[in-house]
Amino acid sequence: MRGTRKRKQPHPQSSAKSQKTAVDRGGAASQVPFPDHPRPTPEECASVRDDLLSLHGFPQEFIKYRDQRLKTKSLLKSSTNFEPLIDEEGVDERESVLDGLVKTILSQNTTEHNSEKAFASLKNAFPTWKEVLEAETKCIEDAIRCGGLAPTKSSCIKNLLSFLIERKGNLCMEYLRELSVEEVKAELSRLKGIGPKTVSCVLMFNLQHDDFPVDTHVFQIAKTMGWVPPIADVKTTYLHLNQRIPSELKFDLNCLLYTHGKICRRCSNRKVGMENKEVEVGNCPLLAYSRLS
């Protein structure tokens, strides 16, 4: 007698705790790690931006990038034929994508002062990227040693330049301006030593995309304010905040949170602030938002 054939059981539905996929505010599909976590709200993001702007003003170090974003968006709205930002002498005002990426690599695990000094030293020793590519690795290490992790960073820079020659035939990354956010992420993820935060910084600062990098300062503040659950790590915080924060607020809010995290002892969990510029605990405007969590 033939046995009764059992029906295949359908796959169980994924649990509420699993990550969902949604379309973010920029139109790209991405994971939503904490779909039931309601913060930050758009109103809260705008309020934090305004409070930090009143406290710090807009950080001087980011003004040139902010101006470039405003000019780019203005040109895109006013013309279907977008022209690069050219000054009166016919020079593109924008920092090159390659310069921006190398600066971000040099900024890893060091202070802003040291990373700027390392980039200036590198360009002084090797004025062109072709000279950097042809230089001995030891010479590059010596040029950027003031920025820390010289062997690791020099290797990363050499790999980047070699990749460009092999793939594109030149030492230029302006082609990234024509790619979507997901295409840029896929392209840069091929490179050893270039992680998600570095990619996100290039997207926001050099390519004028509405992305929201998460460094140690932003991560710590997000957790302190309850913008992410206690179980969140840097990766899931990046995914969550990029879903929750309105695109038009991402740039200003990110720059302000980064600046505040550097000088507020409470928000950075450091005992000593920066060069007597620290914000006293009682004066931190983010205290009120932390009580909401």
- Where does residue 226 fall: left (phi above 0), alpha (psi -120 to 50 degrees), or beta otherwise? left
Q: Give, as one character, the DSSP assignment of residue 146.
A: G
* Cα dihedral sign, 76-78-80-84: negative
Known active-site residue 8: no
Question: Which of 197, 235, 262, 277 is an active site residue?
Answer: 197
* Cα dihedral sign, 267-273-276-277: negative
Non-local (6+) Cβ contacts of 242 within 8 A are: 24, 25, 30, 211, 212, 250
Residue 264 CA to residue 48 CA, distance in Å, equals 15
- Opening angle at CA 227, ends 223 and 233, nearest 5: 50
Which sequence positions are flagged as catalytic? 197
